[in-house]
Chains A and B, each alone.
Chain A
Amino acid sequence: MSTTPRIVEVRQNVLKHNDEVARGLRKAFEDAGVYVVSLVSSPGSGKTAFLEKTLTLLRGKNFRPAALVGDLATDNDAARLARSQAPVKQITTGTLCHLEAAMIQNALADWRLGDLDFLFIENVGNLVCPSSYDLGENLRLVLLSVTEGEDKPLKYPTIFNSADVAVITKLDLAQAVEFDHAAAHANIQSVRPGMRLLELSAKTGQGMDAWLDLLASQAR
């Protein structure tokens, strides 16, 4: 007996289940009045130092920030962030190279979102995998440290394209590594025309004001 194949249209987003959870999260965040920022970058780009500084400065301005930290195995990052005295929770991903919306949902199950003004989600250090997954965040930052090289945006265009703001970190080291600001900016604008760009150093505090102003303007 011969079989005749027939093709049926489906037109479904492959990540629709993740997107559904992310939509639910976005609604819950909006209802609770919490502004949610996610951070993606390579390992070692200064995400944790930047976030620790951000949490500390926001608390100093009487905001109520909190953070979720995705990490492959250790809770070192969460321990560092906890020094800011903001609520911090670790999401250990095991061998998974990115966070998914359901992991955020689970991690938030016993938190009262209404008690927060800002929630930061630090993704696993990785410039490839996190780009496909919506976490329900309002703003996605991609971090690039001056020590990584100006051509990183061209090597990982998708992650830069999926982010809203590019943050150049470790500005205090820029001179030592002869960081070419103009080249980095041009590369970022090439992969994501019009992308907002911040340059800062969590260590010296340089540039943190502009970042805090951006956040404060979003507080609900």
Chain B
Amino acid sequence: MPKLPFTGRARRDIAFCVLTLPLILPGPVVGFAVTIGLAQAVGPPWVAGGNPSWLAMLTAVAVAVLTAALMVATGAARALAAATRRAAGRLLGEHLPPPPPRHARLGDGPGWRAMAYLMLKLPVGLAECYAVGIFWVAGLVNLTYPFWWLSFRNHSPGAQLNPVPVITPFNWSGTGGHFRVTTFPGTFAAFGAGVGMLLAAPWVTRAVVAADRWLVRGLLGPGRTALRLQDLEQTRALAVDDAAARLRRLERDLHDGAQIRLATLAMNLGMARKKLGDEGTVPDLAAARELVGAAHGNAKDALVELRELARGIHPPVLDNGLTDALASLAATSAIPAELAVTVPVRPTPAIETIAYFCAAELLANAAKHSQATTIKILITERAGLLALRITDDGRGGADPSRGSGLSGLAQRVAVVDGRLDIASPPGGPTRITVELPLRAGGR
């Protein structure tokens, strides 16, 4: 539905076109034009048959290339790009992170991309001029025709007046066309044309600005490689932190669990041994029995703790495949869980492990927070991606920002270029999807 022309967005589009207007004449084009101009002024051998000679053309191209190289090497291209990026961010809402800092003068990829933008800005900028100059300015001027006709052309009847040309998008020079106004009623046709142009103006502007925005996004951002690099650096840092944290947790668990139990066991046995005496009759049999009993208990507790710890590091059933592991996970879930697996290709062990621990954590989360009565675990494989979907009929409202372990999961999944998608409206149901590649590092 068409909106009134003067919305905030239209104003910002116009402002962007006007502010970036100076960019339509980039250095290389100016260099080219100036060289040709000088050649024309000097004459032969720079001019041949009234036109610039081949020599002049080649020199002009060389000057243009040199100018471009100079703009990249001095950082001028980057500076202009930064200004454009700022304008795009402020006016178009196109917030782009700046490219990584410059490492080489001439081998500066982002600098050359900025230069490419400046060159492409010429046609796009001209289109922006057309949109702003014809549709907006001429459209507004057309609206005024009846008024100034009345003010300045109020001659006595019969006076012969020159026809007044009307600028339209199809006759933008206003000279050659047939749309001319010769009478006062005719001015209303111009008025109508103005209204039409102004109604179309926001859309035309938006279209050309969209083209510009596309260029800005493609050429003035950090670039796909840099973004990927940034992403990899981030996930690598997370992976390293995560690994260190896991080792620390493991040490803590051993220290506070099995190690303490074994130390106590050894102490109890030591005391029991003392009670039993070195030889002959036992001085304190009852105490010795009790201490051996306690030591026996310590040993069993230590075994349980070690088994649980080992399972937490790597569940042995995972070696049989994700299906078996998830089946045993579902069987022990606090909330009844239904499992459906259709994965024809077995993912790599690392991916299986991540998927398993995601499922375990999500089930534990559901048991803790969701108040659900049933859980569905669905695993499918599509286009090289393993999708793990866990749906519960609980009360919803799962929010990764509230530190329910979901953000940690998202980080762990991101390390292998996976994705975590949470749909959990208040009132439920909660549907969490984890997408993982079938093999880590396969991209």
A in complex with B: no
List residues of A whose CB falls within 8 A of some B CB. Answer: none
